Structure 1
Amino acid sequence: MEIKIRKMDPSEYELLSDFLYEAIFQRDENNLLPREIIQEPALRIYIEDFGEKKHDHCLCAVADDVIVGAVWTRIIKGYGSIDDSIPEFAVSIRRGFRRKGIGTALMEQMIELLKREGCEKASLAVQKDNYAVRMYQKTGFSIIDENEEEYIMMIDLKENE
């Protein structure tokens, strides 16, 4: 299976609602949250009017002309927000394509894009028991804070040049 990573075309941004739902860490695959959960204000901000803000960037992974993964960043007051100058990551891989290195490749390419854009740092939030914690650490993110359920992670893009 050949995976190509490219910028997501604005005409494809409507797919971000599917990827946002897939990005929600759900421990019990047999008892999934209702899809309407992405309409909650705390989640909706990750995709609402995407592409209209300066630091809205999205890359996607494509296999056989089908988008199977996406990573996007924007400056929002999200779960992993540090301040209003640091873009926050969201990453999502469709079931069946996970644990194949696609997420790592997307993250690495987004990090490079943010560096070219002059961003100095980026952040994200991840559930403590999500296997993706190791992937984020592998791509250069460090835990800088935590709450009961999540780690807040950050990468210093100037240090990782």
Structure 2
Amino acid sequence: MRAATLANMNWTGSRRFTYADIDSTPEFSHYFRFDESSGDFGLAAESNGRLVGLAWLTFFDATDPGFGYIADGVPELSISVWDGYRRRGVGRSLLRALLGEAQNRRVERVSLSVEEGNGAVNLYKQCGFAPVEGNPYNAYIVDLESRA
């Protein structure tokens, strides 16, 4: 998850952040502090026995919000597909499976934050995410109850 978080932070392809940056910045490092006791869960994608992507939901609260924080009880999505496996349906499969598992766990809504210019926003929109008006971090949300 740490490598996936770093890849997400460097989605442009340029090295904007290092492991030292994400490790020492609480706003970044809390994305890879997985806490099952708070409800966090995720899925992995493999190809020929090799890990090629991760998707997970993190339950943040108002005392330690993520960039896509909407409200307590609304988990934030993180998803990363390794270079060489993008644009092959891996991200779409991971996202759909994760949202399905979220529905099974009776999660009502899921949020995310995506930087301007990130092409992944098209995938998010295709999976039902809509922009949250007025959010300074370009947050999106999907209502899982309406996806049923």
Question: Do both proteins adopt the same fold according to a TM-score greater than 0.5, normalized to the shorter chain?
Answer: yes
1:42 corresponding residue in structure 2? 27
Aligned-residue Cα RMSD (Å) equals 1.5
Distance 1:147 1:123, change over 3 A: closer
The answer for unaligned runs of 5 or more in structure 2 is none
2:132 corresponding residue in structure 1? 144
Question: 93, 102, 114: which one pairs with 1:126?
Answer: 114
AA aligned opposite 1:151 = N
How much does 1:35 deviate? 2.4
Percent identity, aligned pairs only, is 26
Question: 102, 111, 117: which one pairs with 2:105?
Answer: 117
The answer on 1:153 being equivalent to 2:135 is no
Which structure's residues are more often strand, by fraction? 1
Distance 1:147 1:54, change over 3 A: closer
Q: For the residues of structure 2 that align with 1:45 and 1:134, how far apart are their CA atoms?
A: 26
Distance 1:95 1:122, change over 3 A: same
The answer on 1:102 being equivalent to 2:90 is yes
How much does 1:99 deviate? 1.3
Report the secondary structure of 1:95's partner residue: coil
Q: For the residues of structure 1 that align with 2:15 and 2:129, how far apart are their CA atoms?
A: 30
Alignment of 1:4-19 (within 5 A): 16-19=1-4
AA aligned opposite 1:121 = R
Which structure's residues are more often helix, by fraction? 2
Report the secondary structure of 2:102's partner residue: helix
How much does 1:64 deviate? 1.1
How much does 1:32 deviate? 4.1
After TM superposition, the score normalised by the length of structure 2 is 0.89
Q: For the residues of structure 2 that align with 1:55 and 1:117, how far apart are their CA atoms?
A: 9
How much does 1:74 deviate? 1.3
Runs of 4+ in 1 over 3 A off after TM superposition: none
The answer for unaligned runs of 5 or more in structure 1 is 1-15
Does the Cα contact within 8 Å between 1:25 and 1:127 map onto a contact in 2? no
* Residue correspondences, number: 143
Q: For the residues of structure 2 that align with 1:68 and 1:108, how far apart are their CA atoms?
A: 16
Q: For the residues of structure 2 that align with 1:109 and 1:52, how far apart are their CA atoms?
A: 18
